[in-house]
Amino acid sequence: MSTAVKSTYNDQVLAGVGGFASLFKFPGGYSKPVLVSGTDGVGSKLLLAQAANEHQSIGQDLVAMVVNDLLAQGAKPLFMLDYIGIDKVSSDKVAEIVSGIAKACRQSKMALIGGETAELPDMYFKDEYDLAAFAVGVVEEDKILNGNRLQVGDTLLGIASNGLHSNGYSLVRNLLLTRAKKTWSQLDDSLQKELLRPTRIYAASLIPLLNNNKIHALSHITGGGLLENVPRMLSNQTAVEINWGSWPIPEIFQRLQETGKLSNHEMLETFNLGIGMVAAVSADESAEIMNQLKKSGEKVYQIGKVVSRAKSQQIINFNGNEPWKEKA
């Protein structure tokens, strides 16, 4: 486990795991640096990982939830600390969890410099644990993504998710397990694999674009879906138009909608529907940026545009045929 953690270190790490606190030397090259912090967990997806006895991929979910939030502010990730609360420390299980976290930190080019593992048998049932993480990134003050750089006419690029990521799992578990009166082991192998697919980390693809000021605004489509997260990247003067049919909605979302008879609104406010990040970019540069993202291994779609917001106008306006009908 120590080897996995130290594999994330870089020249800025002066003291990592083992001391009372960790030390990180601030990187050079910034004129007006701003620190950006974030914290998150994995939520009830953990219950499925525990049922499957699969503890490494959940580490990527933890890192992704924090790192993708930092990116949405324009920040480059610097370092992270993790927290594991567990009923009883199993060295093999904790090593598997931490190994997954460290692997994802390397992918994010971020140091895992410390953490806490708390054995709490009075708080957790047998074989249960919870995860949380805190991360810090840095951005030049004039490169912060806060909506001020948005322009009417900017193109919206939808960068694909690879499935559910780590949101909506209370509803997922209710639909596929509780209501269906099934246990995890009774789900077919392909569905189990889909439900545990780790959240994508977009750092390697987005940091070069952020460094070159190619992105005007960025939204991580996390809890709250498209409806709640796209508005978080906008200014008070802007709204967006999104076109149905401009990207493929993965089959897992179709299955959940049909199983729960969920409305269009319920799907939009719960799931990412196949879009992990939304980027607003100059319309003139959108084709070039799409090609760069594709070369980085991303699937990307032109899903809409930024428009001027009228006082009575909705912040998000969907055009085209809705994939699901609203409940009567």
User: What does DSSP assign to residue 175?
Assistant: I
Q: Stretch 273-278: mean pLDDT, rounded? A: 96
| Angle between helices 203-211 and 286-295 in degrees, nearest 10 | 140
Closest Cα to residue 67, out of 14, 133, 4? 133
pLDDT in tens, 9-28: 888 888 867 778 888 999 88
What's the mean per-residue pLDDT of the chain?
A: 92
CB 314 within 8 A of CB 235: no
Rounded CA-CA distance 263/198 in Å is: 26
Closest Cα to residue 283, out of 247, 307, 309? 307
pLDDT in tens, 196-205: 999 999 999 9
Mean pLDDT is lowest, of 16-25, 106-115, 126-135, 244-253, for 16-25
Output the pLDDT for position 325: 67
pLDDT in tens, 213-225: 999 999 999 999 9
Residue 60 CB neighbour total at 10 angstroms: 24
Output the pLDDT for position 3: 78
Q: Looking at domain 155-165+200-319, does it have CATH number 3.90.650.10?
A: yes
Output the pLDDT for position 17: 73
Does residue 247 have a pLDDT over 90? yes
Answering whether pTM is above 0.85, one says yes
Cβ neighbors of 86 (< 8 A, separation 6 or more) are 93, 94, 117, 118, 119, 120, 124, 128, 129, 130
**In the beta sheet, which residues pair with residue 116?**
83
Output the pLDDT for position 192: 95
Does residue 291 have a pLDDT over 70? yes
Q: Stretch 110-131: mean pLDDT, rounded? A: 90
Q: Stretch 53-71: mean pLDDT, rounded? A: 94
Does residue 108 have a pLDDT over 80? yes
Output the pLDDT for position 328: 47
Q: Stretch 139-165: mean pLDDT, rounded? A: 94
| Angle between helices 57-71 and 203-211 in degrees, nearest 10 | 20
- Superfamily of domain 2-143 in CATH is PurM-like, N-terminal domain (3.30.1330.10)
CB 317 within 8 A of CB 242: yes
Cβ neighbors of 3 (< 8 A, separation 6 or more) are none
Does residue 303 have a pLDDT over 50? yes
Does residue 2 have a pLDDT over 80? no
CA 155 to chain centre: 21
Pairing state between β 316-319 and 238-243: parallel
pLDDT: which is higher, 18 or 272:
272
Mean pLDDT is lowest, of 64-73, 154-163, 178-187, 274-283, for 178-187
Q: Stretch 285-313: mean pLDDT, rounded? A: 92
Does residue 47 have a pLDDT over 90? yes
Does residue 313 have a pLDDT over 80? no
Residue-range domain boundaries for the chain? 2-143, 155-165+200-319
Rounded CA-CA distance 111/114 in Å is: 9
